[in-house]
Structure 1
Amino acid sequence: MTLDEAEAGADEAAEAGKRPEGEPGSGVMIAFGRQLKLLRLRAGLDRTEFGKRVGYAAQSIASFEQGRRIPQPAFIDKADVVLDAGGLLLALKEELARAQYPAFFRDMARLEAEAVTLHVYATLAVPGLLQTEDYARSVFAMRRPLLDEETIEQRVAARMARQVIFARKPMPTLSFVIEESVLQRPVGGRSVLHRQLEQIVEQGQRRNVEVQVMPTDRTEHCGLAGPFTLIEKRDGRRMAYVEVQRDSRLHTDWAVVRDVEEQHGIIRAQALTPLESVDVVMGLLGEK
């Protein structure tokens, strides 16, 4: 059996077990993988030799070609050059970046990257933009039905990549209101929570970031309808994003967005101030 025949057999087995729509391994991932393989074979390279030229193991090349793993931007850049693809692989770069996210979040990820203001109200977990890598990994590991390890690592990497928003220029205005119960829940264990709380304090010290805690003992609380995110783009358009049980909705209707903005304003007034919130987080850390 030739190497190409062996690869073809492995690819058929992988194709038979490919993930459902919306997961890595579908849509643009399959298209990119097939294009990559065709270009590699045209260049007369087996996976081992091609891997050496781009700095990746043959197993990783197989995962890319079979649509089981999303390649990093640096790989796409180098592969396009090594395979003399003339931009064919680069053309899918943006779509591949969006494919890192579950289907229901992809539009929101794009809008988040373009936002000039972002206001987040969190009731169940620390907002993704504030999560540490270990906290994010623990959140994804708890999902049911279970995610496979490769998907977990892909989701963690995508979540960490979103945090470039903090260093973006011009700086966006970011605010977070987090339920106190979220900060008390030891997702991933006490040590993971401890580092997560430290990160919340660190990010809250940025000039363009405000973090507020909503105390559990508040008798007046207008946020009982659940979490949401408010987004404003450079052109002034404002939107409200809501998500529950892996389903999401992006509201653009002015009346709906206005209602959520009113709710957000009251929530911020009912929550602790940023300075008071730091004291609460520091208390949970045992430093006050």
Structure 2
Amino acid sequence: MPGPKGLDPSSSPRALLGAELRHAREKAGLSQNELGQRLFVSGSFVGQLEAGTRRIQPEHARVLDEVLGTEDFFQRNCKAAAKSKYPEHFAEAAEAEATATEIRQYAPLLIPGLLQTPAYARAVCRAYQPTAPEEMIEELVSARMERTRLLDDPTEPLLWAVIDEAALRRVTGGPEVMAEALRHIADLGRRGRGIVQVLPFGAGAHAAMEGSIKLMDFEDAPPLVYFEGVGTGRLEDDPATVRHQRFTYELLMACALSPQKSLALIEAMAQDYAHEEPP
């Protein structure tokens, strides 16, 4: 497996640790696979640590210091690299998302975070935490909107979303919020900033009825898939698992409406919401 390209250590604490890990590993004369064996992980996982797409966990930091003879360097610094504005179960996935070159996501129940508007995100966060102080909700919304800045770049990452019709029919925040949210998605699609397909109710049973899928590809690290549940989430790099989830996603694409028909449906639904009287 080719090693990662040079990193800018100033970009983040995680990038700094990744650069230091690569330096220490090469100084010790170990390959990624050899170091992975000491950590009981794959060589590709070590590559992800060095590329900054995965965090160094405390249990790994201790072994790294022992194997690489770095005293307590990684143990002291992995805590600083772990600080995040995102919920703990999602933090690593959000950080990986920021370095991905391609993101493919199937969303069965809500509009994907990268496609959300502030008002829609606020309604979702409030539903998740109905008793939280307003300041906490605004912090969550701000963090989510910061993620959407990935789409400010006109070309990267490639974003391809398959959205279940159920996510578009569930009135989240009221008709006005939904109208704005759907117009936003349509605008991104019309501008070529993302590919969006709707999986209609008429498609019937499909390959991902049990949950969401999020696939991420990187320039110099192996692909990842993110599994998410209520208050839980995990990244997986097992090649067989990623391959299976990619095949599942391709089946969803085949069952979904074409991008052109999907945008037409989304725009029509936005019009319907815009003319709907609020309760």
TM range (shorter): 0.5 to 0.7
Q: Deviations over 1:19-69 (max 9, x none)?
A: xxxxxxxxxxxxxxxxxxxxxxxxxxxxxxxxxxxxxxxxxxxxxxxxxxx
Q: Which residue in 2 is equivalent to 1:186?
A: 171
Q: How does 1:12-23 map to 2 (within 5 A)?
A: none
**Structure 1 residues 169, 215: closer, same or farther in 2, change over 3 A?**
closer
Q: Which residue in 1 is equivalent to 2:150?
A: 165
Unpaired runs of 5+ residues, structure 1, are: 1-90
Kept after mapping to 2: 8 A contact 1:231/1:238: yes
Normalised TM-score (structure 2): 0.66
Is structure 2 residue 181 aligned with structure 1 residue 199? no
1:95 Cα deviation after fit: 5.1
Is structure 2 residue 193 aligned with structure 1 residue 215? no
Q: Deviations over 1:106-148 (max 9, x none)?
A: 1011100000000010011100100000000010111146322
RMSD, aligned α-carbons: 2.1
State the SS of the aligned residue for 1:285: helix
Q: Which residue in 1 is equivalent to 2:119?
A: 134
Q: Which residue in 2 is equivalent to 1:152?
A: 137
State the SS of the aligned residue for 1:100: coil
Distance in 2, Cα, partners of 1:152 & 1:219: 36
Kept after mapping to 1: 8 A contact 2:161/2:197: yes
**Structure 1 residues 190, 145: closer, same or farther in 2, change over 3 A?**
closer
State the SS of the aligned residue for 1:222: coil
Unpaired runs of 5+ residues, structure 2, are: 1-76, 273-279
- Counterpart amino acid of 2:100? A
State the SS of the aligned residue for 2:96: helix
Distance in 2, Cα, partners of 1:201 & 1:115: 23
Q: Which residue in 2 is equivalent to 1:263?
A: 248
State the SS of the aligned residue for 1:125: coil
Q: Larger RCO: Structure 1 or Structure 2 (Cα < 8 Å, ≥ 6 residues apart)?
A: 2
State the SS of the aligned residue for 1:231: strand
State the SS of the aligned residue for 2:204: coil
- 4+ aligned runs moved over 4 Å, structure 1: none
- Counterpart amino acid of 1:134? A
Kept after mapping to 2: 8 A contact 1:104/1:248: yes
1:236 Cα deviation after fit: 4.7
Distance in 2, Cα, partners of 1:105 & 1:236: 19
State the SS of the aligned residue for 2:198: strand
Give % identity.
33
State the SS of the aligned residue for 2:105: strand
Q: Which residue in 2 is equivalent to 1:113?
A: 98
Distance in 1, Cα, partners of 2:131 & 2:93: 23
Normalised TM-score (structure 1): 0.64
Q: Deviations over 1:178-233 (max 9, x none)?
A: 01111111100110111001001011123341000000121341111210100001
Q: Which residue in 2 is equivalent to 1:99?
A: 84
- Counterpart amino acid of 2:112? P
